[in-house]
Amino acid sequence: EERDVVKSLTFEFYPGSCTAILGETGAGKTTLIRMILALIRPTSGNAYIYNKGNKHILSPLIRCNFVYVPQGNTLLSGTIRENLRLGRVEATEEDMNSALRQACADFVFSLPKGLDTVCSESGGGLSEGQAQRIAIARALLRRGSIMLFDEATSALDPDTERQLLKNILDKHDKTVIFITHRPAVVEYCDQTLHMERISQAN
């Protein structure tokens, strides 16, 4: 509240688009994501979600439209199956296998216990890249049509990242927003939002 973090921003994440949000640390990227998720409200102006017929000011009541994949390892202790079911509790094995393939997490099928492989909290027993792909598969099982990725592919090698992006964006059935510093992500996006840090004096 001491200063404006995001100032004079007008931008549209139009339906079915993929947008890369770029900017240095402190430029306001995290603040913007918090605003989109209705964790904070703008001090002036409004943020809306809309469809063909209506628009609504963003609020916690409509947060179910969003799927958020944070940076870092977000797996919990338990089996891969249990972690995936946090995305959709009624997901079938076929649903989970499809999400794993889409997230380039096919390595799960080669594990001795497959979906019943146990990992410790924060994905212990898996590499960081493997844990990230399972977390993305979990997100893909959720129903929300707007996906927010906060540096969620940071541990993936470029080839895996490109394939994952192609898989996610191929159907154009979701609105996708990436906070990223990775050139491969930007190449796949329809538009970019560059955020610049403003000085305290401004």
57 contacts 172 by C-beta, under 8 angstroms: no
132 contacts 105 by C-beta, under 8 angstroms: no
CA neighbor of 66 nearest in space, from 38, 37, 42, 41: 37
The two structure tokens encoding residue 188: 């796949």
Residue 183 vs residues 162, 163, 168, 186: alpha-carbon distances, Å = 10, 14, 17, 5
Q: What is the pLDDT of residue 91?
A: 95
The two structure tokens encoding residue 16: 């079915």
39-85 pLDDT tens trace: 998 888 899 999 888 999 999 999 999 999 988 778 888 999 999 99
pTM: 0.86
Give DSSP secondary structure letters for 44-86.
Answer: SS--EEE-SS-EEE--GGGGGGEEEE-SS----SEEHHHHHHT
Given pLDDT bands bounded at 50, 70 and 90, which one contains residue 157?
Answer: confident
The two structure tokens encoding residue 86: 């946090």
38 against 28, higher pLDDT = 38
Whether the per-residue pLDDT at 174 is higher than 60: the answer is yes
Half-sphere exposure of 186 (CA within 13 A, CB side): 10
Q: What is the pLDDT of residue 176?
A: 93
129-155 pLDDT tens trace: 999 999 999 999 998 899 999 988 888
103-139 pLDDT tens trace: 999 999 999 999 999 988 766 678 889 999 999 999 9
Residues 6+ positions from 74 with CB-CB distance below 8 Å = 122, 131, 135
- Calpha distance 21→180 (Å, rounded): 6
Q: What is the pLDDT of residue 199?
A: 66
Q: What is the pLDDT of residue 12?
A: 94
